[in-house]
Structure 1
Amino acid sequence: MSLTGTPFFVLTVMVMIGALTALFVFWNRIPGPRPARMGGRLGLAVFSQLTAVIAVLVYVNNSMGPFYESWSDLFGGSSAPPVTTSVAGGGHGHDAPPRDGKLSFTEYGPGVMKAHTVGARSGIDGSLYVWLPPQYHDPAYAQTAFPVVELLPGTPGTPQAWFGTMRVQEQMQKLMAAGKVKPMIMVSAKLNTLGGNTDAGCADIPGAAKTATWLAKDVPDLVRANFRAAKDPSGWGIMGYSAGAYCAVNLTVQHPESFRAAVSLSGYNTPESPLVTRDPALARANNPYLQLKLAGQQPPVSFLMAGSLQDQGTVPAARALLGVLKHPGDSRLLTVQSGGHTPDVWRGMLPDALTWLSARTASQGVSS
């Protein structure tokens, strides 16, 4: 039974109702001596409270994220790398995606499509969620390769949160109608590649997962193989919130051949994943502040660093990274006066973030 499916939520509600009913029905009917009756009542009370908490947590997970998409996301898998097949080696397993990268998309929600795949370079088993602007199907845009914004959730979190909790597609429609942004493809990919609460740190971790390769190489390749998407990195931006914000900046610093503009919504600059920090060399390589500060020639990228003044540390981190840029160019700081580390704050930042990304990403012609 799916963790995020309606049947499981209904089951948790039914169990909760059953537990509450049992509490009232059997409260004064438990036989035996007084200690046994008290113990039975305590057990019924605890069980009913536990079922109520589980039902609420399932509702929150489904309606505000989901933060966990599957049971393996929630509890984590084995310590082995999350690889199902070796595509690059020409694997022919029944789960292997086609060699040309063409995927079979199904409808996830209004205007949003979903496909399951395995990264050709990373071997990571993950899903893509794609929103196409209405202009994509307009004959007037038949020769247009659209700019792309890759979207990263936090940790824990799932890619579809961008189209659920964050409602990025609704913001895009409003901003396009107002003439503030041009049509762009929105794509969100699996970030938490190790499942459970294990943070992969958006890095290529030996023996664990090539998450950076998945996000910076496989995802752009798959999007270009399936849609009229910009070929040149000048047409690609990346945006994330919380841990995904750190990842967006870090991936842009490491892979300017993939992304040229990054938006950080309440992010940080230094790696926090124990899988990364336990290796000093890996930690240094995944510290975008340090990499920019020590670079002899900084990559030709720009950043929108956003944070709330009430969200401790995010604005100072944003100022610090912008402060080491030798040629700030279009990079800038966006602050809000109030609000914590919450989706409400990030949704409020979206209009400015999408407008900034639209100005920094370029539509391109379709190659003949």
Structure 2
Amino acid sequence: MGLTSRTLLIIAILAALGCVVGTVWMWPRLARRHWAAVLGRLGTLMATQLAFLAALGLAANGYFGFYASWRDLLGTGADQPVAVQNHFGTGTPAEHTADPAPGVEPLGKVPLTGPDGGAPREAGMIEKVRIAGGRSGLSSEGYVYLPPQYFRPGGQHRRLPVAVVLTGYPGDARNLITRLDYPGVALDRIRAGRMQPTVLVLLRPTVAPPRDTECVDVPHGPQAETYFVRDVPQAVAAAYRVATGPRSWGVIGDSTGGYCALKFALRHPDVYGAAVSLSGYYHAAHDATTGDLFGGSVRLRRENDLMWRLRHLPVPEVSLLVATSREGEGDYHATQRFIAAATPPLRVSSIILGSGGHNFRTWRQELPVALPWLAEHLRAG
């Protein structure tokens, strides 16, 4: 039974309620002063509290997406073997037929709902995949949204731009669909003529759970940056009809994903030509979840500090969009300093809300503007 299973949550809630009923029923029998009765009272109280904490924890995890599976929670998922398949199946030329792609494993399709019945030519398609990195040795599950134009007659001769979408830490890639609805926003903007058809690759930055790598190539540790700037583009380009090169690839993310997005564009303009940060920050976090990301190297730490890069290194010719709120968001002043430090040929745009916060509601408000902005800065092949 999965960690995010609704059935598990219901069982936990029923167990907590059962503990309450059991405690009330047994309490008169445990009212004696004998040591066994005292231990019984302590046991029933502890069981009730633990049951309620478990139910509350499962509910919070399901809502916020802290951990996607038991392996994530226990930290046992990083070394799991990955079986890579070199095909996605067959279909007519107008339908999706992915070429053999080492590093990409299909895990099924996610249904789309709507008045058109979710037909690929009308609504597009969401595929669940696992992308394994040949260079980094890392792998991560995620989703790929293919817009309707990918499936329409003549689409096989067109290569679409790509937007890599990242969650925060620890994140759950499903939240990019269920909570932020990236595919729905993209489809709505495409149908309205406000966004060019773009393939979305929906991932989370936590590729070595439970460690927060901050998208860093950790010395003698997880090579997270290599995974996102080398392995993912190579695998996706081999599996789907997409354009290649920095003019055709962009990246967008919230919180930790926003920091990673900006960093990828600034450090690897040969891969990502545009990036969007929603409530992102500007230097790598350092706490119990990250450990020592830089092996004690001051040089590596500075190179991953975005403000330091703007002040001390030549800036690349890329386009960035940063989003924050004057009230309710902790990165507002840092974002203003980042904007002020930017110099040509770097181009920085911003979305500044009057009030908001570090939450899905604020990001949903920003997405209908931020996602088309990113697509506008990409080119089809």
TM-score, structure 1 as length reference: 0.87
Deviation at 1:184, TM superposition (A): 1.0
Correspondence for 1:136 = 150
Alpha-carbon distance between aligned partners in 2 of 1:73 and 1:83, rounded to the nearest angstrom = 11
Alpha-carbon distance between aligned partners in 1 of 2:362 and 2:333, rounded to the nearest angstrom = 17
Correspondence for 2:327 = 310
Correspondence for 1:162 = 176
Query: Is the aligned partner of 1:290 residue 2:325?
Result: no
The answer to whether the 8 A contact 1:84-1:123 is kept is no
Correspondence for 1:235 = 248
Amino acid at match of 2:156: A
Deviation at 1:126, TM superposition (A): 1.6
Q: In the superposition, relative to structure 1, how do residues 34 and 171 fare at CA in structure 2: closer, same or farther (>3 Å)?
A: farther
Alpha-carbon distance between aligned partners in 1 of 2:142 and 2:74, rounded to the nearest angstrom = 21
What is the number of equivalent residue pairs in this alignment? 350
Q: Percent identity?
A: 29
Q: In the superposition, relative to structure 1, how do residues 313 and 18 fare at CA in structure 2: closer, same or farther (>3 Å)?
A: closer
Amino acid at match of 1:319: Q
Deviation at 1:83, TM superposition (A): 5.1
Correspondence for 1:27 = 27
Q: In the superposition, relative to structure 1, how do residues 156 and 105 fare at CA in structure 2: closer, same or farther (>3 Å)?
A: closer
User: What secondary structure is seen at the aligned counterpart in 2 of 1:220?
Assistant: helix
Correspondence for 2:93 = none
Query: Is the aligned partner of 1:182 residue 2:182?
Result: no
Correspondence for 2:109 = 107
List per-residue Cα deviations over 1:250-284 (Å, max 9, x = no partner): 11111111111110111111111342264322211
Query: Is the aligned partner of 1:268 residue 2:281?
Result: yes
TM-score, structure 2 as length reference: 0.84
Amino acid at match of 2:109: E
Aligned 1:189-268 pairs, distance under 5 A: 189-196=203-210, 198-268=211-281
Q: In the superposition, relative to structure 1, how do residues 233 and 331 fare at CA in structure 2: closer, same or farther (>3 Å)?
A: same
Deviation at 1:20, TM superposition (A): 2.3
List per-residue Cα deviations over 1:8-29 (Å, max 9, x = no partner): 3343233223212212221222
The answer to whether the 8 A contact 1:201-1:275 is kept is no
Deviation at 1:109, TM superposition (A): 4.5
Correspondence for 1:16 = 16
Correspondence for 1:66 = 65
User: What secondary structure is seen at the aligned counterpart in 1 of 2:30?
Assistant: coil
The answer to whether the 8 A contact 1:159-1:191 is kept is no
List per-residue Cα deviations over 1:108-155 (Å, max 9, x = no partner): 453421122421111002213111112211114332111111111111
Q: In the superposition, relative to structure 1, how do residues 328 and 307 fare at CA in structure 2: closer, same or farther (>3 Å)?
A: farther
**Structure 1 segments of 4+ aligned residues over 6 angstroms from their partners:** none
User: What secondary structure is seen at the aligned counterpart in 2 of 1:309?
Assistant: strand
Correspondence for 2:118 = none
Query: Is the aligned partner of 1:118 residue 2:132?
Result: yes
Gaps of 5+ in 2: 87-99, 113-124
Correspondence for 1:88 = none
Correspondence for 2:44 = 44
Q: In the superposition, relative to structure 1, how do residues 108 and 208 fare at CA in structure 2: closer, same or farther (>3 Å)?
A: farther
The answer to whether the 8 A contact 2:253-2:278 is kept is yes
Alpha-carbon distance between aligned partners in 1 of 2:319 and 2:160, rounded to the nearest angstrom = 20
User: What secondary structure is seen at the aligned counterpart in 2 of 1:114?
Assistant: strand
Amino acid at match of 2:130: H
Gaps of 5+ in 1: 86-93
The answer to whether the 8 A contact 1:65-1:165 is kept is no
Amino acid at match of 1:214: Y
CA RMSD in angstroms comes to 2.4
List per-residue Cα deviations over 1:233-260 (Å, max 9, x = no partner): 1111101111111111111111111111
Correspondence for 2:115 = none
List per-residue Cα deviations over 1:142-197 (Å, max 9, x = no partner): 3211111111111121222211221111211222222211111111224112212x
Correspondence for 1:89 = none
Alpha-carbon distance between aligned partners in 1 of 2:37 and 2:276, rounded to the nearest angstrom = 59
Alpha-carbon distance between aligned partners in 1 of 2:11 and 2:340, rounded to the nearest angstrom = 52
List per-residue Cα deviations over 1:324-366 (Å, max 9, x = no partner): 22216652121111122111111111011012112111111xx
